[in-house]
């Protein structure tokens, strides 16, 4: 893994996160600026995930390096024991599909799933929707009969900041796990 590339992507994600305001946009120009900064933030944050994903793949030699898989596919290919199980559990703690529980949605272990969903939305159109001074972030869970849920925020800096914090925490945990695996291989 190229640590310089990883550090650059994290630095750029942070740079554009810092440009995201704490309040909701008051006019169209502010909304477009928020959309721009959020989209660029999501691009670089998703790039961090891609680098980490390839590092996991390389560390455990799971499948062909040229293939591009979602984290879910990578997680399914990890073993259910030892260090691979630890990796699998770490992925699960950040990339789980939100769970529908009655009329509510549990998103506790899905912050990076949401990051990827927002990145996909940004590629196909706008992600910023404002209603009555509140930002709306709609999500669709396709494996549950296209179940939709919406998260709301009046502070986009805090909303995206939590995603960034979880990304940094996830990255650090995975790098530590992979380093442990590399040390075990060399002994």
- What does pLDDT average to in each consecutive run of 10 residues of the chain (187 residues)? 93 98 96 96 96 91 65 86 95 91 86 94 90 93 81 97 98 96 85
Residue 67: its pLDDT value, please? 56
How does DSSP classify residue 81? Answer: S
State the residue for tokens 């898989």.
69
How many domains does the chain divide into? 1
Residue 52, number of CB atoms within 10 A of its CB = 24
Biggest CA-to-CA distance, the chain = 60
Element (H, E) at 115: helix 111-124
CA gap 70, 50 in Å, rounded? 9
CA distance 150 to 128: 12
pLDDT for 187 equals: 76
- pLDDT attached to residue 33: 96
Task: Please tell me the predicted confidence (pLDDT) of residue 49.
Answer: 95
Determine the Cα angle at 74 with ends 52 and 98, to 5°.
Answer: 90
User: pLDDT tens for residues 13-50?
Assistant: 999 999 999 999 999 999 999 999 999 999 999 999 99
Per-residue tokens: 99: 């769970």
Structural domain including 22 reads 3-186
Query: Which tokens go with 8?
Result: 């650059």
């Amino acid at each position: 893994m190229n640590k310089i590339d990883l550090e650059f992507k994290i630095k750029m994600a942070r740079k554009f996160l810092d440009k995201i305001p704490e309040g909701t946009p008051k006019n169209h120009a502010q909304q477009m600026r928020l959309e721009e900064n959020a989209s660029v933030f999501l691009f670089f944050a998703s790039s961090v995930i891609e680098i980490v994903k390839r590092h996991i793949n390389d560390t455990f030699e799971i499948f062909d390096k040229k293939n591009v898989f979602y984290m879910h596919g990578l997680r399914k290919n990890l073993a259910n024991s030892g260090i691979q199980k630890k990796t699998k559990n770490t992925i699960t703690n950040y990339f789980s599909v939100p769970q529908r529980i009655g009329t509510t949605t549990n998103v506790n272990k899905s912050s990076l799933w949401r990051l990827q969903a927002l990145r996909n939305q940004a590629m196909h159109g706008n992600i910023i929707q404002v209603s009555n001074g509140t930002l709306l972030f709609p999500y669709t869970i396709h494996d549950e009969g296209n179940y939709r849920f919406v998260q709301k925020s009046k502070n986009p800096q805090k909303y995206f900041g939590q995603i960034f914090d979880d990304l940094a925490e996830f990255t650090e945990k995975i790098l530590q796990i992979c380093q442990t695996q590399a040390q075990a291989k060399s002994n």
